[in-house]
A = this chain, B = another copy of it.
Amino acid sequence: MAPGPQETDFVHMAIQDMWAPEKAEDHARARTPQGRVLSVLLYCTGEMSHFSKFMEDKPFPLQLVEWILRGVARVILANNPVSGALILGALVMASPWQALLGTVGLLASTLTAIIIGQDSAEIAGGLHGFNGMLVALLMGVFSSAGDWYWWLLIPACLGGATCTFLFSGLGPLLDRWDLPVAVFPFNMVIVLFLSCTGADHPYFPHYPAMPPGAPEGLNHTQLHIPQLLQGVVLGVGQIYACGALWPSLLILGGVLIFSPLMCVHALLGSGVGTAVGLSMAVRHEALYSGLSGFNGALGCMAVGGLFFTFNWKTHLFAIASAFLSAYTDIALSNLLGTVGLPACSWGATLIATLMLLLTAQHLSAYRIPIGRVGSPEHNLLKLSQWEEGAKDDSTDV
C-alpha cells in the first residue's frame, strides 16, 4: 500500500510512514541515502519495543542502560530509550551536576526495585526509575548548598529507594480503578524530604518554595511578550526542573521522536498553563521561567493521546485538563507555600487521575486500559484491532 520510496519525495514519505517502525526495513532495503536516514529515524520512533526484544539476551549492564534511558523518558510520559538519551544529554548541557544527581536517583530506585523483587517487566520498562530521578533533580534544585555538594547524593539515593517502595505500595491501591501510579511517589517523597529538612538545616539546607502569588504579587512592569513565549517552551523543560532554552528544545525533540502528537500537546498545555498564570496574575518570573506552564503541559499530554485515543473530543478534554491542572497547581502552590513547600506536579497528577476516572461518556468511551497504553500514534493504529478484540474479552472488571 505504501508507495515505493524511489517514487515519492522524502518529506511526504517521512510524514506518511513515520512512527510505523515496521516499515523501517522497507526503506533500508531501498538503499538510497534518504531511505537509509529514514530507516534509522523510523527505527527510533514510538515505543521501540523491537529494541527491547533485541536487548533481551544482552549482558545486564547494557540492559540496565536501556532501562535507565527509558526511565529518563518516562518522566515526560514517553517510553523510548533514544528520547531518554536526548533528554539526558539536554540535562548534562543544562547542568552536569543535576544530570549526575538525576542519574543517581534513577539508578538507586531501579536497583532497589531489582533488589526487593519487583516485577521485571515493569523494571525493564523504566517504571521504577522516573520517580527517583525526579526526586533527586528536585533535591538538587531546592538545595541551597550549591552544586557539587556531594553529601546530597545520600538523600538522592534514599529518596530514590523510597520512591520504589511507594510505587510498589500505591500500585495495588490505584489498580482497583485501573489507574497508573504516575508521579505520586515523587510528589510525596519530595514533600517529605523538604519537610524533613528545613531552610536552615545544618546538613541539607534548602530554599523555601515561593508561592506564585507572593506578597510582591503586584506586577508593576509591563509584560515582555518574547519572554512569555520563551516561557511556554521552558514549561516543557521545567518538567525536568530545567529552566534553560536549548536543553528545553532538546527535551521537546526527545518527545517528538516518541510521538509528534505528544510534542504538540506539551507545547499546547504549556501555553494554556501560561495563560492561566496570566489570568491569576502570578509573578512575571513564574511565567517567564516556565514554572506556570509545566503542570498544564503534563495534564495536556496525559489526556491528549496517551491514556485516551486521540480525536477532537479527547483533544478538547486535553485542553480542559491543561486548564484544570494549571489552576490546581496555582491553588496548591499558594496553599503549600504557606508552609514553605512547592506544589511540584501534584496539580497535573491529580487532574490526570481525575480525568482517567471520569464517567462522562464523551471521554470514557476513548479510555485505553493501562496495560495497553502505547505511544499516541500506536494507540490510534491499534484502535481498530482493539475494538475487534474487545468484543470477546473485557479487561476492566
A residues at B contact (CB < 8 Å): 113, 115-119, 158, 162, 165-166, 168-173, 176-177, 191-193, 195-198, 200-203, 213, 217-218, 279-281, 317, 320, 324, 327-328, 330-332, 334-335, 338-339, 341, 353-355, 357-363
Contact = CB atoms under 8 A, between A and B. Distances in A.
Contacts of A332: 192, 195
A335 B195 contact: yes
Given A171-B359, A195-B332, A203-B281, A354 B165 contact: yes
A331 B192 contact: yes
A296 to B, nearest CB: 14
B213 A358 contact: no
Copy count, this protein chain:
3
A225 to B, nearest CB: 20
A117, A176, A362 interface centre (most CB from chain B within 10 Å): A117
Contact of A192 (B173, B327, B341, B353): B327
B166 A172 contact: no
A387 B132 CA distance: 36
Given A328-B192, A331-B193, A169 B202 contact: no
A67 to B, nearest CB: 17
A166, A196, A197, A328 interface centre (most CB from chain B within 10 Å): A196
Nearest to A279: B203
A369 to B, nearest CB: 14
A213 B198 contact: yes
Contacts of A355: 165, 169
B361 A324 contact: no
Contact of A118 (B168, B192, B193, B359): B359
Nearest to A164: B360
Contact of A165 (B172, B324, B362): B324
Contacts of A115: 362
A362 B116 contact: yes
Contacts of A192: 327-328, 331-332
Given A118-B361, A177-B172, A358-B168, A217 B200 contact: yes
A196 B117 contact: no
A176, A217, A341, A359 interface centre (most CB from chain B within 10 Å): A359
B196 A330 contact: yes
7 contacts: A165-B324, A165-B354, A166-B354, A192-B327, A196-B327, A200-B217, A201-B281
Nearest to A219: B202
B331 A168 contact: no
A197 B168 CA distance: 37
Nearest to A356: B169
Contacts of A162: 324, 327
Given A168-B360, A197-B280, 15 more contacts: A116-B363, A118-B360, A118-B361, A158-B327, A162-B324, A168-B359, A171-B359, A176-B176, A198-B334, A201-B217, A201-B280, A202-B217, A202-B281, A203-B280, A335-B339
